[in-house]
Structure 1
Amino acid sequence: MNTDNTSLKLEKKFKEAEDFLPLLGTDFVELYVGNAKQAAYYYQHAWGFQPVAYSGLETGRKESVSYVLQQGKIRLVLTSPLQPEGDINAHIDKHGDGVKFIALWVDDARKSYEETTKRGAKSYVEPYIMEDENGKAVISGIHTYGETIHLFVERNEYEGPFLPGYRVWNANVETKDVGLRYIDHMVGNVGWNEMNKWVDFYAKVMGFAQLVSFDDKDISTDYTALMSKVMSNGNGRIKFPINEPAEGKKKSQIEEYIDFYNGAGVQHIALATNNIVETVTALRDRGVEFLYVPETYYETVLDRVGEIDEDLAPLQELGILVDRDDEGYLLQIFTKPVLDRPTMFFEIIQRKGAQSFGKGNFKALFEAIEREQDLRGTLN
């Protein structure tokens, strides 16, 4: 585990952010899932995540079981219930598999809780200490959109594999990682006219700054539209775009998400790589499905974005999108939903200087999503 105290080393990139916490990075993302053992197998073998820790009956935990996997700085926790009824079952019944906790790594979980709750955050859990033979950690938490929770994790006095109550998980089969490095951003979908409410929440309650705003003129096709604003903490390690539906001729992807998730929640997690061609090739070879991009996209992409380091042919063959801003360019691609419900998916992103989010690709991306919606019969 990385237990060093790094807050003093972090440069503040976005001066508009009040940044009073501060946040050191994403500690982990925890999903409630119907079958954690099988979900862990999927993320190991399809995505190349490595087994880290386990908690369940063998560790004295009677109500639920959790598997912890990691790749680069990305840590996933997959949790399933062991008993009928209860909060985990209710969450899965209502939402399907989905993100429950976005845990943020902090120096001081008590101060993070105090600073956010006094600014209006609804308490999820007051600060408490978890402790075992490997040391102690302090956890606290607040509510955010839907049933999503932000946990504050203070772990600079803990040396174990994950958190107290977990033991090292040694899987019988080794899998090779695919080059994923860290979480670039996580996108939340909220309901009609709720975007600004949650933008204000991140600004006032958590000290974030708004980086960019997209309206229905930026993000629309002939049929559907949405609006989005991107919030970031001061050092730029935590970025949360917030989407809401906009009026269109047909049902947008945000409306489809809200319908099937039964409320607001995490739409997608963007994972960064240093070589998107190698990463996507490995993922595709292991069965991960990506959205289809028509070949016509590549006929004009270099006219729009200019010269890039990569050959266009492998990008076209894999369906990787390209966009440029004033600071450089980026390459990105989106999976199909990774769950049976058309809710959560992943983005793979490689930044070559660009700090934006692929505005030039929105039309092609949304048309690709609409094709999938049409196949599911949820576009009308």
Structure 2
Amino acid sequence: MAASLSRPCFISLHLPYRQGWAQHLANTFRFRPVAVRETPCVRQLALRRESAIFLVNERLAPASTSTHDFLYDVDPQPTLGTASNVCFEVDDVPGLCKWLQSQGCSLLVPPTELSDEGGSVTYGVVSSVVGNISHTLLDRSCYQGPFLPGFQPIQGAPSATGDGIKITHFDHITYVCPRGGARVALDWYQRCFGFHRFLLNPQERPAEGYVLGGQGVGMLLLALQSARGTPAHGCKLVFAESLSQNGTNQVDTFLEQHGGAGIQHVGLCTTDIISTTRALQQQGARFFTPPTAYYKQGGKAEEIQGAGQDPHMLAELGILLDTTVPGDKGQPGTDATESPSREYLMQIFTHPIFSEETFFLELIDRRGAPGFGEGNIRALWKAVQVYMDQQQ
């Protein structure tokens, strides 16, 4: 009875006392505050952009909090900003929680029903096998309110229309795992949550995963796709593990600064990455600069033009583009005899959101391509590595 999950309902962020991020998320990334819940110790604020919702948990007092201070989540007791909970909507919370317990999963919050004038919801929280991550399992099929029971709607929040930012939903979530942990996580999410294997690259061997080599890089990447939803529209999980033998790379840096495994970045799907990147830059968002060699490599300008995009504009903004190749559908055993495709995707990373070199955001614009282009993967991760090296 593995869970059948689709896109996340919300992603929960926790911040230590006297640290906040909600204002930055609202002002810079233009997420709209929709609901709030406050106790003497914590404030939980839900911010939405289309179907992408962040639940920001801020401490209002230095004293330790109790589990009851949080709804739809648990307290990871953060010493730094962390993305620690991913909520998924499910059909049968009690049945799924019971089955997950039978599989050895730790149940942090038993099935709980809450209601208000908008209806009722049932939720439970289970611990992931990765770091400080937990998962809220939520049935809100009988609820019609703006967010969830226990939260007060926020009236008069500024409209998000007409600001040029075209963010629609969460596309993928990338976890950083300790050495040997990526395959453990892969197996756990397949067995417990019903995710399916997703190949990041057509040359990837399922038994080995996608190995990203090169000086100072050395990473293993493994990916999964939610059972519900098409490859282009379901939720993907990516697990990154360091293979570096010489010094540390960004994965090692994350593990050190975060204090263990966790969520490194969240991919936000956009329908217009050029307009969105420009608008966010005007609001003060900062993005990683890809290596200049990326745009100068043989055939890249022609590839970008063939996709109907302007190479100079993408280079100016720092946006990467990869077209898919025949058979590059991210599924094991895909037939590679179909005709060449003009399906492509574009991506860009923000600088780290918190003061530590841990959590950041990605914009991804899918034009029919469900996977992640090899050139993009290498360029994006190298850009992050260069930035990390400069901060040393």
- Determine if contact 1:187/1:241 at 8 Å carries over to the other structure: yes
Partner of 2:48: 70
Deviates more, 1:105-114 or 1:264-273: 105-114
**Take 2:367 and 2:182, find their aligned partners in 1: how far apart are those partners?**
29
Partner of 2:373: 358
**Take 2:8 and 2:75, find their aligned partners in 1: how far apart are those partners?**
26
**Cα distance, 1:85 vs. partner?**
1.7
Query: How many matched pairs?
Result: 353
**Cα distance, 1:116 vs. partner?**
2.5
Normalising by structure 2, report the TM-score. 0.84
Partner of 2:70: none
The SS at the match of 2:188 is: helix
Partner of 2:111: 127
Partner of 2:34: 52
Residues 1:293 and 1:310: Cα distance change in structure 2 (over 3 Å): same
Partner of 1:195: 182
Partner of 1:312: 311
Partner of 1:11: none
Partner of 1:9: none
Partner of 2:78: 92
**Cα distance, 1:216 vs. partner?**
8.7
Q: 2:244 aligns with which of 243, 247, 253?
A: 247
The SS at the match of 2:199 is: strand
**Cα distance, 1:173 vs. partner?**
5.3
The SS at the match of 1:129 is: strand
**Cα distance, 1:243 vs. partner?**
1.0
Partner of 2:57: 79
**Cα distance, 1:227 vs. partner?**
0.5
Residues 1:269 and 1:81: Cα distance change in structure 2 (over 3 Å): same
Matched, 1:154 2:139: yes
Matches within 5 A, 1:160-239: 160-170=145-155, 178-212=165-199, 218-236=211-229, 237-239=234-236
Normalising by structure 1, report the TM-score. 0.86
**Cα distance, 1:103 vs. partner?**
0.3
**Take 2:104 and 2:75, find their aligned partners in 1: how far apart are those partners?**
29
CA distances 1:322-346 after superposition (whole Å, capped 9, x unpaired) = 1122362110011111110000011
Matched, 1:348 2:332: no
**Take 2:363 and 2:30, find their aligned partners in 1: how far apart are those partners?**
14
Partner of 2:340: none
- Determine if contact 2:8/2:87 at 8 Å carries over to the other structure: yes
CA distances 1:138-158 after superposition (whole Å, capped 9, x unpaired) = 001211111110111111111
**Take 1:352 and 1:36, find their aligned partners in 2: how far apart are those partners?**
41
Residues 1:155 and 1:207: Cα distance change in structure 2 (over 3 Å): same
Matches within 5 A, 1:6-21: 20-21=2-3
**Take 1:138 and 1:175, find their aligned partners in 2: how far apart are those partners?**
30
- Percent identity over the alignment is 24
**Take 1:36 and 1:157, find their aligned partners in 2: how far apart are those partners?**
36
- Determine if contact 1:185/1:271 at 8 Å carries over to the other structure: yes
Letter in 1 for 2:197: Q
**Take 2:2 and 2:76, find their aligned partners in 1: how far apart are those partners?**
35
Residues 1:184 and 1:36: Cα distance change in structure 2 (over 3 Å): farther
Residues 1:112 and 1:216: Cα distance change in structure 2 (over 3 Å): closer
Partner of 2:295: 298
Residues 1:82 and 1:297: Cα distance change in structure 2 (over 3 Å): same
CA distances 1:183-230 after superposition (whole Å, capped 9, x unpaired) = 000011111111111111011111111112666974132222110110
**Take 1:324 and 1:29, find their aligned partners in 2: how far apart are those partners?**
29
Structure 1: gaps of 5 or more residues: 1-18
**Take 2:88 and 2:221, find their aligned partners in 1: how far apart are those partners?**
22
Structure 2: gaps of 5 or more residues: 67-73, 330-342
- Determine if contact 2:272/2:365 at 8 Å carries over to the other structure: yes
- Determine if contact 2:2/2:192 at 8 Å carries over to the other structure: no
Q: 1:339 aligns with which of 354, 358, 372?
A: 354
Residues 1:90 and 1:198: Cα distance change in structure 2 (over 3 Å): closer
